[in-house]
């Protein structure tokens, strides 16, 4: 099982929805929380975006290796996943909504939710940063912050199955003419 990015997106979107969903515009019957790199139409203000902007190994390329009950090798690495969360609204409302989401990543129920839903924890929450966006008719400010989520990435090497028995047979050719048949079973 490699990291499931859709589950990470889903968990973060759920946290945003629980915190400020009722104060966002509605698109398709749901609060307007979208992936930042989506080519779908942008919703009306206010809305939130989520983007996975980086994944890195935390300690080293490999933190654990073991053999599972099927005899397959399992490799574990500790990953840090940086998620950018942005809220776009009118200038003052954008900061207020973004700050409410930012605070949610310190709440016990959010931390328990991340642990139970995607086996993750919050490593750090970075400060909120205002971004000025030049629109065709006005300047618009939106607010964004990054949260770094820690997860264990497990990969099963399905190609490394245990060898139960090996049988090899053949003939050893001798130039003198005394060939020998050889059978090996292990």
Residue-by-residue pLDDT tens, the chain, 186 positions: 578 999 999 999 999 999 999 999 999 999 999 999 988 888 999 999 999 999 998 877 788 899 889 888 899 999 999 999 999 987 679 999 999 999 999 999 999 999 999 999 999 999 999 998 776 677 778 999 999 999 999 888 877 656 667 777 777 777 777 777 777 776
Parallel/antiparallel/unpaired status of strands 139-157 and 120-125: antiparallel
Q: Residue 83: enclosing H or E segment and its boundaries?
A: strand 73-88
Q: Which two tokens stand for residue 92?
A: 């003052």
Cα 125 to Cα 111: distance, rounded to the nearest angstrom: 12
88 closest CA partner among 39, 10, 16: 16
d(CA 75, CA 61): 10
Q: For residue 64, what is the enclosing H or E element?
A: strand 64-67
Entry pTM: 0.80
CATH code for the domain defined by 5-185: 3.30.2000.10
* Domain regions of the chain by residue span: 5-185
Question: Strand 120-125 vs strand 26-27: parallel, antiparallel, or unpaired?
Answer: unpaired
Given a contact cutoff of 8 angstroms between Cβ atoms, the answer to whether 84 and 50 are in contact is yes
What b/e readout covers 175-185, taking b as 16+ CB neighbours within 10 angstroms? Answer: eeeeeeeeeee
């Amino acid at each position: 099982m490699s990291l499931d990015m859709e589950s990470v997106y889903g968990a973060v979107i759920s946290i945003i929805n629980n915190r400020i969903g009722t104060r966002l515009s509605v698109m398709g019957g749901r609060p307007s929380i979208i992936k930042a790199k989506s080519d779908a139409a942008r919703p009306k203000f206010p809305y939130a975006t989520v983007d996975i902007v980086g994944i890195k190994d935390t300690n080293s390329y490999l933190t654990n290796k073991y053999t599972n009950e099927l005899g397959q090798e399992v490799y574990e690495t500790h990953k840090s996943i940086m998620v950018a969360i942005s809220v776009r609204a009118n200038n003052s409302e954008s900061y207020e909504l973004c700050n409410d989401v930012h605070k949610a990543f310190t709440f016990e129920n959010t931390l328990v939710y991340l642990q139970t839903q995607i086996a993750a924890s919050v490593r750090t929450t970075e400060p909120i940063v205002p971004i000025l966006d030049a629109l065709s008719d006005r300047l618009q400010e939106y607010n964004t912050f990054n949260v770094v989520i820690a997860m264990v990435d497990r990969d099963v090497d399905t190609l490394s199955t245990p060898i139960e028995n090996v049988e090899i047979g053949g003939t050893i050719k001798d130039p003198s003419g005394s060939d020998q048949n050889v059978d090996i079973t292990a």
